Amino acid sequence: MRRRTSTRFLHGLVSVIIAVVITASLLTNCAYRKSTRLRIINPYANVDWVTHGQYKANFHTHTTIGDAAATPQEVIDQYLEAGYSILALTDHDTNGPEEPTWPWQAYDRSPDSLGMVAIQGNEISEENHIGSHFNDYGNPDIQSEEEAIKEIGQRGGLALLHHPGRYDRTLEWYLDLYRRYDHLIGQEVYNQIDRYPGDRAKWDSILTVLLPERPVWAFSNDDMHNPEKNLGFSWNVIIAPELTSDLVRQAMEEGCFFFVHAPKGYDEMTVPVIDAIIVKRRPGSLRIKASDYEFIEWVSQGEIVHRGDRLNLADLPDTNKYIRAEVFSADSVVVGTQPFLILRPEPKE
């Protein structure tokens, strides 16, 4: 009788232990799943890397209509020869006519015949210089940057902040403008032959505070005044299913493009090509497939947090808000991505 009772007791005890172990395991797995449930907002999520095209673009360009050395015809022809598909002529509204240098047909050039997309543009220049696109605004007598940005929006345009490193503005000044104007979509991080190297740090500072509220996209532009000196050093790669003005605008608004800088010029250096970006929410991984590159760095909140063509965010628990990649060639050409937004779950108390 005692032996039977002892056996039943042992069987019961074993059953209890097994149940406790299974329950603990389930709870642990459940907690793990919850702790690793994160979201990665990918600006390239809708790209078909097989069928979409990658189109070279410059959004900050000057001609003799303003203060530059080459005529509109010469500028268009030389950018076409350099492999560009998208071009905005953005003469200063304070130096020459206040209206945009537009349309190209007025200068005996047809974008359709050339196989290019022409973007109507202007550089609003009385205060901090502002790129104005997809509208006809110009005003050499503005009283503030806000006045210009507001008017660009009312005319259905997009605005960019040009060469921010030239100006002494506080972080709060930028944050205020970005919070109030959605059509202010970004700012230059490369201008000409990298005249203001601190512009990437300024951009990272803005992203660190502003995300996840809204993104700010990075642009790289020639700010071309003399084709012999500053054409083809800084450009953008627009990714789109086909080459149309509407799809270029959509890519600019959604951050579906790369920024590129070649310190010795486009025709003197090997330029990396990003062939695909693979983002997986689980387990929270990002991978870049590229060609003609030497190494890849990943940046978050102004710091390099990883090197390599792929990363797993589970290995970077302190990396929050966003991460972006820079792909380098052996001779220092850089192709940069826009930020991938990281949304981690709130830790349970």
Counting as low any pLDDT under 50, the low residues of the chain are 1-7, 9-10, 13-14, 16-35
Give the per-residue pLDDT at 304.
98
Query: CA 318 to CA 333: how far, in whole Å?
Result: 29
List CB contacts of 41: < 8 A, sequence separation 6 or more.
212, 340, 341, 343
Q: So what's the pLDDT on residue 19?
A: 45
pLDDT value of position 348: 63
| Coil/strand/helix, residue 40 | strand
Residue 5 confidence (pLDDT): 45
In this structure, the dihedral spanned by the alpha carbons of residues 21, 23, 26 and 30, taken in order and rounded to 10 degrees, is: -130
What one-character DSSP code corresponds to residue 224? B
Six token digits for residue 349: 């108390």
Task: Please report the pLDDT score of residue 32 as a whole number.
Answer: 31
pTM above 0.95, yes or no: no
For residue 255, what are the CA distances in angstroms to 78, 81, 156, 214, 316? 27, 26, 18, 12, 24
Lookup: tokens for 107: 């200068």
Give the mean pLDDT of the chain: 91
**For residue 268, what pLDDT is reported?**
86
